[in-house]
Amino acid sequence: MSRIPRDIDSLRILHYPDPALREVAEPIGDPTDPQVARLAEKMRQLMHEANGVGLAATQLGVGVRIFIANPVRGPGQDMVIVNPEVIQTEGWQETREGCLSVPDVTLTLRRRDRVTLRYQDLAGMTHQVEATGLLASIFQHEGDHLDGRLIVDRAGVIGRMAIRDTLRRLEGEFKAAQAAT
């Protein structure tokens, strides 16, 4: 996989406003490629270390369509979702969401309540799953990442006002880190 770096071990979760978070991910041509499995394992590790419920490859600066989801945070419960495609949605719910790439920000967002997702696994098999509640939110949140969108993009006027100081701080930290390299 040309978009998956050789040095997977050095990957880390990127933070807002890193421009790599805005990249639209490309489909994975061969989900059975061993590099895809290595990437998925690194994503699992980082998601659990950060106590998250989902993580998209774009959050590591890798522009391929894969994410990990684990709404119960339980061992052995990680779902590896390759080339996801939302094929049906129903209803609405309000969700309270945070993001590993936008630390210290939590927003109330409006998401679809029921989502039917078609995807591939690491063996290349195609699956279809219907999700509600938290899992439906994770599917939409991580799908947004694969499309270069962040939770801050979905915030309303009041939500943006509430997080503006935190975003400014994150922007300052990013600039300082860039200047130091």
Q: How far is CA 55 from CA 30, 121, 144, 155, 165, in A?
A: 20, 16, 11, 20, 25
- Kind and range of the H or E run holding 179: helix 157-180
- In whole angstroms, give the CA distance from residue 45 to residue 114: 28
First to last CA, the chain: 28
The per-residue b/e assignment along 10-32, b for 16 or more CB within 10 angstroms, e otherwise, is: ebebbbbbbeebebebeebeebe
Among the listed residues 41, 85, 142, 171, the single catalytic one is 142
| 5 alpha-carbon distance from chain centroid | 18
- Is 142 a catalytic site residue? yes
| 100 φ/ψ angles, rounded to the nearest 5 degrees | -65, -25
In angstroms, the CA 65 to CA 82 distance is 6
What residues are annotated to the active site? 142
